[in-house]
Structure formats: structure tokens, C-alpha cells
Amino acid sequence: MFELGVVYRNIERGDAATAARLGASGTATVHEAMGRVGLMQPYMRPIYTGAQAAGTAVTVLLQPGDNWMLHVAAEQIRPGDIVVAGVTAECTDGYFGDLLATSFKARGARALIIDAGVRDVRVLTEMRFPVWSKAISAKGTVKSTLGSVNVPIVCAGALVTPGDIVVADDDGVVVVPRAMAAAAAVAASAREANESAKRDQLAQGTLGLDMYGMREPLQKAGLRYVD
């Protein structure tokens, strides 16, 4: 774990159809469906509004200020993958720009999730290549120290194992371990079905207090109303 200088070529990827279903549910629903674990920290933001992606993780462990391993990772990308990159120390440099995005896209990558900075965001936005990052910075990087590809990494506070399903949208980024993905997709769909009916009721003025039966527990907890 946290090995440096290694590229694992054969990783077991989560199921593509499950990834698609989870993506359709969105991060907030998926995170609930998982029991509220697996969310990256909220400083991870999409470079453009409305960005959405779901896919299987190719992980990259980067050195600070050094994007060499993103080039190594490109070769390991298969269509439907999302590259997820952590760094061994805090860094806001711009590791990724339009050239790497062109390469990643040509290899079939759906997105980049990086716990550092990116650049060329105007061009990335025009290409509609979505990136979730900690920073935007014109600062470039060198190519001199080895990291790894497809080892377990920590990205923005979340553990990511190669092949995990990653779901990202305007609300953030959630990591779904492969073994939990099918169950999470079922639970997420159930939540959505449930929410649709509730939305209609609430739109008609029904209070959540009544719809969820909260009045009694609130009273038991001691809530007082004062006129």
C-alpha cells in the first residue's frame, strides 16, 4: 500500500452498468444509500457548473509538483474509467491541462478527480472534459520522481481502491467500493422512487413534519411552541 514506482496493469473494474445507474442517482443519493461514507471533502469542486461523471477508478499516486505519473496512467485508461489522483503532500500546482485532457479523452476517460490543481480550464470546459479539483492554477509541474498507478490512494480524505466506482457532480465526489456497488445502486434507486412521491406532496404544501411523522418525536424530545 502506498507503494512507489509500481503500475498495476490488471485491475478488477466495477460494473459499467452499475456505474451508470449510480451516476444517474447522483452523489447526494448515492452517499445516503451507502450509509454516509465514501465522500470526498467538499473542497473538491468541478471546474464547470453542471459537470457530471460516473465510472471506474484508475488511481494515481503523485509526487508534489510532478505530473509524470499522469502520463503513465494514460496508458492504463480504458473506456469508462475515471482517473483519480492523490498527492503525497499538499499541492495546488496545475498538474493537468488541455494536452493531457486530449490524451485521456482519446483513451476513453470520462473525468479526472485530482487532489491538487488543474489549468487550461477554459479549454477543458470547451472540450467538456470534466475535472474535480482542489485548485485552479497556471503553475506547471515537472516530470522527475516516480509515484504509482493503480495502488490504493487517499484523495481528498477518501480511500480509493483501483476499480472502485466513482460518482461526481455539482455536489461533490463519492467513492463506491466495488463490492458495495450493486447494493448501493439498488438502495439509491429505492431512495429516488421514494423521493419522487414526496416531492409532489411537498410541492402541494404538505409539511415534512406531517409527511415524515415528526410531530410526535419532536414533542417527545421536548420541543415547545410559544405563541
Judged by CB under 8 A, the chain residues 129 through 148 that form the site for its own copies are 135-140, 142-146
Quote the least distance from Cβ 147 to its own copies, whole Å: 9
Distance, first Cα to last Cα, the chain: 61
List of residues 6+ apart from 58 with CB closer than 8 A: 11, 73, 76, 77, 81, 82, 83, 84, 109, 149, 150, 162
Binding mask 178-207 for its own copies (x = CB under 8 A): -----------------x--xx--xxxxxx
Quote the least distance from Cβ 55 to its own copies, whole Å: 17
Residue 95 touches its own copies, criterion: CB under 8 A = no
Three cell numbers written together for 214: 415528526
| 17 vs 106, beta carbon nearer its own copies | 106
Residue 210 to residue 219: CA distance in whole angstroms: 13
The one segment of 14-22, 166-174, 181-189 that binds its own copies by CB under 8 A? 166-174
In this structure, are residues 44 and 134 in contact, taking their beta carbons and an 8 Å threshold? yes
The DSSP letter of residue 142 is: B
Quote the least distance from Cβ 85 to its own copies, whole Å: 13
Q: Which of 22, 83, 174, 185 binds its own copies (CB under 8 A)?
A: 174
Residue 9 touches its own copies, criterion: CB under 8 A = yes
Q: Which of 22, 74, 85, 113 binds its own copies (CB under 8 A)?
A: 74
Footprint of its own copies on residues 36-65 (CB under 8 A)?
A: 36-39, 41-42, 45, 48-50, 61, 63-65
Q: What are phi and psi of 177, to 5 degrees?
A: -55, 145
Residue 153 to residue 156: CA distance in whole angstroms: 10
